[in-house]
Amino acid sequence: MFEGMTIAGYVIGAKKGLVYLRGEYRYLLEPLNAALEKRRAAKLLGRSILGRTGFDFDIEIHLGAGAYVCGEETALLESLEGKRGVPRKRPPFPVTSGYLGQPTAVNNVETLASATLIAAKGADWYKAIGTSKSAGTKILSVSGDCERPGIYEYPYGVHVSQVLADCGARDTQACQIAGASGMCVAPNEFGRRIAFEDIPTGGSFMIFNNSRDMFEVARNFAHFFVDESCGFCTPCRVGTTLLANAMDKIHEGHGGEFDIGDIWRVIKTLKTASHCGLGQTAGNCVADTLQKFRPSYELRLTVRDFEPAFDLDKALSKMREVTGRDDPGAHFHIAHRKNKAGIGTKAGDPA
Ligand code: SF4
């Protein structure tokens, strides 16, 4: 990666490269700095690299605090500048106005590492690996229900079933590919391929076997996005919470078809109105599991029409305890029924 950054610096005429290291990977800071020192000693970084006058380039490592949204390039730039990780409006794009207003090329680790191989071995060598539309290899981080989780590297175009066989996955019910915002793939799709033209991924490959409850998997992802939304735009800030609330409502046995319709409406708003990719993709897992693992939702749809998620009578139980009242008038639903029947309520009635 450092070599790729140096090549990129030479090509675009940059003097400085920055590595953004997520806080979770703090343990890598010393080894990375040691590698940079070695490169400086070998004249592969610094002034006049390899004796070439004017080829000045060095690399610094910056630590982030671990926000998911900082994978978005402009939020990453904000964070690098010491500000809150909030995606910028575009244009201007980072290549014209990026870090501290300077032209900035933002690339991921894998791209820069591949650039080194392409420079050393040539584009034809690289293009011979993978598919016609997705050249090269893809590194997958395989986790979940399998015997051999870990880091795997494949030529682009590898079938999902091949990855599952290699890592010793059995009774696989689903793969979540490309992380929480990616695609949930069912067994009838295991013949699909990891490639830009089929299933694109940054590298995450999570496996769920038949013992997993896909509704709960999706509910967990819905809550993840509530935590990770940066809060800048309303569709995502509010939409992720509405989605998680709807999933909780179903989980607690108050859900019906009305709530499924509500979920689709929220997902559409997230997709079409969110400011950045995080919000636009935050509903993907719920949408996929609703389409592909519908029985896990059906099991929980106990309500025919609509039932409020908030149980007022239950919420009042503490006050009934405090006041020592447990007569019918102290219960919301009884008073509510009286009202519906047209019977007046007296002052002080909790209805
Ligand atoms: S979509 Fe979500 S993460 Fe992106 S800017 Fe809006 S609130 Fe922030």
CATH number for the domain harbouring residue 167: 3.10.20.600
How far apart CA 351 and CA 330 sit, in angstroms, is 8
Q: Is the per-residue pLDDT at 334 higher than 70? A: no
Under the banding of pLDDT at 50, 70 and 90, the label for residue 304 is confident
Domain CATH code at residue 18: 3.40.50.11540
Instruction: Write out the residue range of the structural domain in which residue 327 sits.
Output: 316-351
Q: What is the mean pLDDT of residues 81-93?
A: 95
Please state the φ and ψ torsions of residue 112, each to the nearest 5 degrees: -70, -35
Sign of CA dihedral 8, 10, 11, 16: positive
Residue 145 Cα to chain centre, angstroms:
20
At 340 the pLDDT is 46
The answer to whether 293 and 215 are in contact (CB under 8 A) is yes
Q: How far is CA 27 from CA 23, 107, 148, 253, in A?
A: 9, 22, 24, 44
What are the tens digits of pLDDT across the range 59-72?
999 999 989 999 99
Question: In CATH, what number is assigned to the domain containing residue 264?
Answer: 1.20.1440.230
Same-domain check for residues 25 and 111: yes
Amino acid identity at 130: G
Residue 226, pLDDT > 60, answer yes
| Together in a domain, 98 and 189 | no
pTM passes above 0.85 = yes
Give the residue from 185, 209, 233 where a domain finishes.
209
Which ligand 1 atom is at minimum distance from the Cα of 240?
2
- Domain endpoint, select from 303, 324, 343: 303
Assigned domain for 122 exists: no
User: Does 126 map to a domain?
Assistant: no
Q: How far is the CA of 295 from the centre of ligand 1 (A)?
A: 31
Domain boundary among 56, 84, 117: 117
pLDDT of residue 269: 98
pLDDT at 159 over 50: yes
Helix, strand, coil percentages (3-state) for the chain, rounded to 5, are: 50, 15, 35
- Are 187 and 248 members of one domain? no
Domain for residue 128, yes or no?
Answer: no
The Å distance, Cα 234 to ligand 1 centre, comes to 8
pLDDT tens for 275-298 read: 999 999 999 999 999 999 999 999
Say if residue 169's pLDDT is above 70. yes
Nearest ligand 1 atom to the CA of 87 is: 5
Residue nearest to atom 6 of ligand 1 (CA): 233
Give distance in angstroms: CA of 274 to centre of ligand 1: 6
Ligand 1 atom 1 nearest Cα: 279
- 230-234: which pairs have CB atoms within 8 A and are 24 or more residues apart? 230/67, 230/69, 230/75, 230/84, 230/85, 230/86, 230/87, 230/278, 232/86, 232/87, 232/275, 233/273, 233/274, 233/275, 233/276, 233/279
Considering the domain architecture, whether residues 33 and 109 belong to the same structural domain is answered as yes
Looking at the structure, do residues 203 and 221 belong to the same domain, yes or no? no
224 and 290 in a single domain? The answer is yes
58 and 6 within one domain: yes
Q: Assess whether 194 and 98 both reside in one domain.
A: no
Sign of CA pseudo-dihedral 282, 228, 66, 60: positive
| End-to-end Cα, the chain, rounded Å | 66
Assess whether 57 and 111 both reside in one domain. yes
Name the pLDDT band for 261 (thresholds 50, 70, 90).
very high
Q: Is a pLDDT exceeding 70 seen at residue 338?
A: no
Identify whether residues 219 and 198 lie together within a single domain.
Answer: no
**Mean pLDDT of the region 117-124:** 97
Residue 333 lies in a domain: yes
Instruction: Report the share of the chain in percent with pLDDT over 70.
Output: 95
Pairing of strands 58-63, 16-21: parallel
Burial status of residue 166 (CB atoms within 10 A of its CB: 0-12, 13-18, 19 or more): middle
- For residues 17 and 107, membership in a common domain is answered with yes
Angle at 135 between CA 133 and CA 137, to 5 degrees: 130
In this structure, the answer to whether residues 67 and 9 fall within a common structural domain is: yes
Residues within a 6 A CB radius of ligand 1: 69, 87, 229-233, 236-237, 274-276, 278-279
Token pair for 64 = 């982030």
User: How many structural domains does the chain have?
Assistant: 4
